[in-house]
Structure 1
Amino acid sequence: MARLDGVRVAPLKEAPIADDGPITRAALVINTRSRTGSKAYTRALDMLRGLGLPIGSAYPLQDPARLPETVGAAVDEGNDLVIVGGGDGTISSVVDMLAHREVPLGLLPLGTANDFARTLHVPTDLEQACRTIAHGKIVDIDLGLSGHNYYANRASIGLGASVAKAMSPTLKKRIGSLAYPVATARAWFDHKPFAARLTFPDGDHAPQEYRSLLQISVANGRYYGGGQIAAHDSGIDDSTLDVSVLRHGNLRELATVARGFRNGTLLHTDQASLFRTRRIQVETEPRLPVNIDGELVANTPQDLSVARNALHVIVPQTWVDGRSAG
């Protein structure tokens, strides 16, 4: 793996870095359909080049469906660094192209929630994000794996999937982070309780059965859903997933649970069950869609696991580990 001039490369947990040469060629890929992507493209390109980054190819994409193939092509063309601008959905759509590759990801947070950036302490200010890419350090982090789909933040079943359906691009552009509570309220009225069985192939927890659930979440990152915290000590480099199971209840009970997610104090209660594991299998009745970082890409039953040290990414020099408060 190449390195940025003057950038300290954090030691990896597994394979050592193969090459210690400088970055010689970088690609910029921006989702201009993301909340601030269309305004940021030209500024980002100018700032990155002004900071000395050798941007050889740049792609302003209006069609998000082209993101994976474009990032994959950028890797195959021999770029030492791929810089991606967009929101959490953008990042989740391209991590399959970067997982277990030596090419690091540079992140420009241009979305609504930017939970992945929040976990990594990457600034949402465009200039500061560009400076982070130029002067940061490369670390390796975990990814979640739902079936054959990698994800950065969270996979969810139940209410979370209904929220994803209610989150239109127009709503996100119009009201920003307020789109999450609005979409959640809409989804709540359409939601139907479901039954589920959870099994843990590693034997770290006993099988669990539930009759009336609101949601199952399997989080890789520390933050998701517009700033909710998976667990008070969760991290994106701890080789585990944080599983939360929410039982169906009244609005007052759910408001208490929501506050726990917001400040990271949610505990194992009558309303919620929490598990930490490396792998979980989820069956539901009826079959339900699985929401992966805002995109509905699969259905239950689903096998979810952690992909350890799967992604190289640039973070600020001050970033310590995935559990740091931010």
Structure 2
Amino acid sequence: MTTVAVVAHSKKSFGKGLGELRRVLHDAGFPEPLWYEVAKSKQVPECAKQAMSAGADVIFVWGGDGTVQRCIDTVAGTDAIIALLPAGTANLLATNLGVPQDIAQAVDIGLHGERRALDTATANGEHFTVMAGAGLDALMIKDADAGLKDRFGRAAYLWTGARNLEASPVRAKVEVEGRRFHKGKVTCVLVGNVKDVFGGVEVFDGSRPDDGLLEIGIVTAKSQSQWIRTLGTVVLGRTENSPFVVTARGSRIKMTFEKPTVYELDGGVRKKTKKLKIKVHPKSITVCVPVPNADLVGEKD
């Protein structure tokens, strides 16, 4: 008999809310799932641990990318199975995996979908599944989190991105697989484990979350006009044509900044740091995905 757990961020919602989730699980044969509600994503790890200790076979995670990241950081490397209930603003992991913002469909995927082993990566020891970013990317998210995101949704990112376009670049040294890849001023460094890291825009074309590699993009644009040109090439899928972007792939990345720099993991801002060490952990998490999943991680040849 499958044991189902729900770890829910109570301030996040979609569909008809947690009441609908209870009804859908009841109708599916799970009238009394293990149930944990939190008011902040930092409370998720303890709930995830309790769910595993109680014998949960599948942990449904209700919330945004930050909630999911906290849970995955806790259970990565274990036998835990994660099912996504995308109740956040961007829901980047769910979007990349094809999990819809429909409670009944998402529950069905969690109960009957394919169990897919995916890579995670750690940044200074903390797991993420979608992206890590430093510089403008993190500043944009930090400002959006300061009340704007709850009021304006995705539009908050556009506003804060424009406001931070003139952010001062910082000198940095970036190593990939132990070799120097870049040295000089940067305004944004982005590491991705999936294609879509900006809601509908495939920044890292060809990226797959189960290939043991990460994509890295370094942006050196300084002025507003240079940023507009850079964003234009990204939206058109021509990142490699931008004179202000350099890219690479690898399983180990090290960044050293001249001064403490804010960074983010899966949309959650972390304290400033002068060093970021990022490492891939191949197929270290199991996530429920739709069947068939031809669009999940790229079609097989």
What TM-score does the superposition give when structure 2 sets the normalisation length? Answer: 0.92
Residue-by-residue CA offset, 1:182-214 (whole Å, 9 max, x unaligned): 12122224x2111111112x35xx413333211
Residue of 206, 223, 234 corresponding to 1:250: 223
C-alpha distance in 2 between matches for 1:209 and 1:245: 8
| Corresponding residue number in structure 1 for 2:277 | 303
Taking the aligned partners of 2:82 and 2:185, their CA distance within structure 1 comes to 40
Q: CA deviation at 1:86?
A: 0.6
Counting only pairs closer than 5 Å after superposition, residues 1-326 of structure 1 correspond to structure 2 as 23-34=1-12, 36=13, 40-53=17-30, 55-168=32-145, 170-189=147-166, 191-200=167-176, 202=177, 206-267=179-240, 269-298=242-271, 299-320=273-294, 321-323=296-298
Deviation, structure 1 residue 89? 0.9
Contact 1:138 / 1:314 at 8 angstroms: preserved in 2? yes
Whole-Å separation in 2 of the counterparts to 1:172 and 1:240: 31
CA distance in 2 between counterparts of 1:303 and 1:98 reads: 20
Bigger shift: residues 240-249 or 161-170: 161-170
Could you list the runs of 5+ residues in structure 1 that have no partner in the other structure? 1-22
What is the CA distance between 1:287 and its match in structure 2?
2.2
Q: Aligned pairs, how many?
A: 298
Choose 161-170 or 269-278, whichever is displaced more.
161-170
- String of CA shifts for 1:198-240, please: whole Å, max 9, x gaps: 112x35xx41333321100111122223333231111111110
Q: Over aligned residues, Cα RMSD in angstroms?
A: 2.1
| SS at 1:300 equivalent | strand
Q: For the Cα contact (< 8 Å) 1:81–1:106, is it kept in 2?
A: yes
Question: Once structures 1 and 2 are overlaid, which stretch shifts more, 37-46 or 294-303?
Answer: 37-46
Q: Deviations over 1:105-159 (max 9, x none)?
A: 0100000011100111101122221222232110100112101100111111110
SS at match of 1:29: strand
Deviations 1:244-283 (A, max 9, x none): 0000333233223223333533116421000010111100
Percent identity for Structure 1 against Structure 2: 25
Matched residue, 1:13: none
CA distance in structure 1 between the partners assigned to 2:129 and 2:145 by the alignment:
21
Letter in 1 for 2:287: V
Task: Identify the range of structure 1 (298-307 vs 143-152) with the bigger mean alpha-carbon deviation.
Answer: 298-307
After the TM superposition, list the runs of 4 or more consecutive aligned residues in structure 1 that deviate by more than 4 angstroms: none
Seen in structure 2, the aligned counterparts of structure 1 residues 167 and 194 have a Cα distance that, compared at 3 Å, is: same
Structure 2 residue runs without a partner (length 5+): none
